[in-house]
Copies of this chain bind each other. A is one copy, B any other.
Amino acid sequence: MADQPAPIQVEDGDFKGWYLSPFHDDYVNLIGPFYYQPDENGQMRVALKVEQRHLNGGGIMHGGCLLSLADTALFIIAMDENKTSGGVTMQLDAQFVSPANLGDIIIASGEVVRSGKSTIFVRGQITTNDTPVMAFSGIIKRSSRSGA
């Protein structure tokens, strides 16, 4: 994560004022872009607009795409706790409470429940127009030289 570019602020369109995700991350580039922005309390939010390519055979956003946003959001929510160490997801669970539909802008947000020496506990939610789409929680394992 040492060599991330400076974030770029979007100047117009649906995501005006949001920043483009700063990660060099092939997978996020494949399914994204993701946009991010702190809320009024300084907590990070991550957004994605539902496009045709995100849909499943039933015509709603694929669960895997929602999970991908949740998994990415864990690290963005925990960014302040994890500046120097990187990390990997150790565990994630998610409740799918309502579908996301084509054209929706979905936003992930959340909080660090506890930041420990080797792990960070995070939980959050994905909403669209304040309707809950998913609740999720996860554990980040901080990177270390000594392995798992």
B residues within 8 A CB of A137?
Answer: 93, 95, 123, 135, 137
What number of copies of this chain does the assembly contain? 4
B71 touches A148 (CB 8 A): no
Q: Verify A135–B118 contact, CB threshold 8 A.
A: no
Most buried by B among A62, A63, A137: A63
Q: Is the interface of A mostly helix, strand, loop or mixed?
A: mixed
Pairwise interchain contact A64-B53, C-beta atoms closer than 8 A: no
Interface size class for chain A? Answer: 35 or more
A30 & B27 in contact (Cβ 8 Å cutoff): no
Do A113 and B86 touch (CB < 8 A)? no
Distance A98 CA – B31 CA, assembled complex (angstroms): 23
Interface residue? A94 (CB, 8 A): yes
A146's partner among B117, B125, B147 (CB-CB below 8 A) is B117
Residues of chain A having any CB pair with chain B under 8 Å: 1, 4, 23-31, 52-58, 60-65, 67-72, 86, 88-99, 113-114, 116-119, 121, 123, 125, 132, 135, 137, 139, 146-148
